[in-house]
Amino acid sequence: MKKLERIEKFEPQVQIESPGRINLIGEHTDYNEGFAMPTAIDKKLRLEFRRNDSDTCRIYSETFKIGFEFKLREELERGTDWENYILGVVDQIQKAGKSIGGFDCSIHSNLPVGAGISSSAALECGIASGLNELFSLGLNSLEIVKLSQQAENDFVGSNCGIMDQYSSVFSKQDHLILLDCRTLDVEFIPANFKNCKLLLLNTNVAHNLADSEYNSRRADCEKAVLRIQKDYPKVNALRDVDIDTLVQYKDRFSKTIYQRCLYVLEENQRVLQAANSLRKGNLQEFGSFMYQSHEGLQNKYEVSCKELDFLVDYSRDKDFIYGSRMMGGGFGGCTLNLIEEDKIDNYVEEVSSAYRDKFNIKLDAFSVLPDAGTQIIINDYRL
Ligand code: GAF
């Protein structure tokens, strides 16, 4: 593996737009085969590809001015975090018995990294989609999603669920996905937020427990399922457990494990209730589920952090904010806020200054729109 200082400008043969995602509600439910409500957003990567008729792959981020190159071989060497998202996809493609040649890829981004809006899934799915087109691999969209998730599980070492990759690929403009993470059945719910907008407040912190704690939350849930299965063999995931059944384990599980499971069961219910609120157009009610979700993540699932809690608490007495919660895996990243549009500027100014006073950290704020998943542009006259 070699660092790359720059890449020659080239006419792309394939271009891909690969978006980040938000999740309205349903956090840490995907790997428990439950429900979530994500959508892709109008912040994305643009990846340009061309074949280079060699066995060398060159990847360069025009935005961050970093790059690397590697040679195609059976056993790929591991690199740094962002390199591994790419290498992991190439590795999965090879393991699927598909053959690719050398390629050049340059990447432009307006997607903040480490903000919990899944720049990693955008990168994995963007690379997988681009190589699929460039080398006619014949993968369908669901195969791209699963291969990208597997790349993250195997190569990067994060046992993530399917939500991020699924929404990055399959979203529809101006809609939210009510996603059943077990069956992958979806309902596209119109994102009718009336006079409100979705505002992200980026704490600009990324506590480094994130990966290990994420994997240990998942392991806790799986341990609980194994125990419940002994009495209820049909239980395959927390999705199959109802709250009355869980209560029977209150004294048999540690308090921590019991609380983790309770959070997941409650969050699954909240997603379905919140979907109803949206269908009825009741944004206040929808927002109250966002606050409940945050409380569960903070106190039962314990994946929040003081910076996220501060931002959610700060919003509570503002009648123009209907809901606020941490988003994504946790331990940093963004809060998602459902806020009346004409109040955004003043609120951002106020909360930024309170956040700076408290933590001496600059807050970043940006509103996002639900947008379409992966877009593919093929300049096939060159292929
Ligand atoms: C991360 C993971 F990648 C998702 O699969 C999901 O579990 C999320 O955290 C929490 O809801 O984004």
For the chain, give the secondary structure using H, E and C. Answer: CEECCCCCCCCCCEEEEEEEEEECCCCCCHHHCCEECEEEEEEEEEEEEEECCCCEEEEEECCCCEEEEEECCCCCCCCCHHHHHHHHHHHHHHHCCCCCCCEEEEEEECCCCCCCCCHHHHHHHHHHHHHHHHCCCCCCHHHHHHHHHHHHHHHHCCCCCCHHHHHHHHCCCCEEEEEECCCCCEEEEECCCCCEEEEEEEEEEECCCHHHHHHHHHHHHHHHHHHHHHHCCCCCCHHHCCHHHHHCCCCCCCHHHHHHHHHHHHHHHHHHHHHHHHHHCCHHHHHHHHHHHHHHHHHHCCCCCHHHHHHHHHHCCCCCEEEEEECCCCCEEEEEEEEEHHHHHHHHHHHHHHHHHHHCCCCEEEEECEECCCEEEECHHHC
Q: Per-residue pLDDT tens for 150-188? A: 999 999 999 999 999 999 999 999 999 999 999 999 999
The Cα–Cα gap between 320 and 141 comes to 39
Sign of CA dihedral 306, 200, 157, 235: positive
The Cα–Cα gap between 207 and 330 comes to 9
The Cα–Cα gap between 219 and 221 comes to 5
Q: Where are the domains of the chain?
A: 2-190+371-382, 196-368
Atom 3 of ligand 1, residue of closest alpha carbon: 160
Q: Which of 30, 91, 104, 164 is catalytic?
A: 164
Rounded to the nearest 10 degrees, what angle do helices 119-134 and 141-151 cross at?
Answer: 130
Distance, first Cα to last Cα, the chain: 28
Residues sharing a CB contact under 8 Å with residue 103, sequence separation 6 or more, in sequence order: 49, 50, 51, 52, 57, 58, 131, 134
φ and ψ of 208, to 5 deg: -80, 5
pLDDT value, residue 65 = 94
How many C-beta neighbours within 10 Å does residue 140 have?
8
Candidate of 28, 150, 181, 270 to mutate for ligand 1, largest count of ligand atoms within 8 Å of Cβ: 28
Q: How far is the CA of 125 from the centre of ligand 1 (A)?
A: 15
Quote ipTM for the complex. 0.99
pLDDT value, residue 378 = 86
10-residue block means of pLDDT along the chain (383 residues)? 92 97 98 98 98 96 95 87 95 96 97 90 98 97 98 93 98 98 98 98 84 92 98 98 97 97 98 98 98 98 97 98 97 97 98 98 98 91 54
Rounded to the nearest 10 degrees, what angle do helices 255-280 and 283-295 cross at?
Answer: 170
Sign of CA dihedral 260, 262, 265, 267: negative
* pTM to 2 decimal places: 0.97
* Burial class of residue 357, CB neighbours in 10 A (0-12, 13-18, 19+): exposed
Q: Is 210 in the pocket of ligand 1 (CB under 6 A)?
A: no
Q: Per-residue pLDDT tens for 231-250? A: 999 999 999 999 999 999 99
Closest atom, ligand 1, to C-alpha of 214: 9
The answer to whether the CB of 246 falls within 8 A of the CB of 10 is no
Examine domains 2-190+371-382 and 196-368 and report if their fold is the same: no
Q: How far is the CA of 29 from the centre of ligand 1 (A)?
A: 8
φ and ψ of 322, to 5 deg: -90, -30
Candidate of 113, 163, 260 to mutate for ligand 1, largest count of ligand atoms within 8 Å of Cβ: 163
Q: How far is the CA of 116 from the centre of ligand 1 (A)?
A: 9
Specify the amino acid at residue 341. E
Q: How far is the CA of 7 from the centre of ligand 1 (A)?
A: 33
Between 3.40.50.2000, 3.30.230.10, 3.30.300.30, 3.10.20.30, what CATH number should domain 2-190+371-382 receive?
3.30.230.10
Q: Per-residue pLDDT tens for 121-155? A: 999 999 999 999 999 999 999 999 999 999 999 99
Q: Is 163 in the pocket of ligand 1 (CB under 6 A)?
A: yes
Closest atom, ligand 1, to C-alpha of 152: 3
Rounded to the nearest 10 degrees, what angle do helices 119-134 and 81-95 cross at?
Answer: 40
Candidate of 85, 164, 182 to mutate for ligand 1, largest count of ligand atoms within 8 Å of Cβ: 164
Q: Is 330 in the pocket of ligand 1 (CB under 6 A)?
A: no
Q: How far is the CA of 26 from the centre of ligand 1 (A)?
A: 10
User: Which of these, 88, 67, 87, lies nearest to 7 by C-alpha position?
Assistant: 67
Q: Is 164 in the pocket of ligand 1 (CB under 6 A)?
A: yes
Closest atom, ligand 1, to C-alpha of 162: 5
Candidate of 21, 29, 30 to mutate for ligand 1, largest count of ligand atoms within 8 Å of Cβ: 30
Both tokens assigned to 102:
């050398």
The yes or no reply on domain 196-368 and CATH 3.40.718.10 is: no
pLDDT value, residue 206 = 84
Q: Is 328 in the pocket of ligand 1 (CB under 6 A)?
A: yes
Closest atom, ligand 1, to C-alpha of 161: 5
Q: How far is the CA of 202 from the centre of ligand 1 (A)?
A: 17
The answer to whether the CB of 143 falls within 8 A of the CB of 166 is no
Q: Is 35 in the pocket of ligand 1 (CB under 6 A)?
A: no
Q: How far is the CA of 383 from the centre of ligand 1 (A)?
A: 37
The Cα–Cα gap between 173 and 17 comes to 14
Q: Has 164 been annotated as catalytic? A: yes
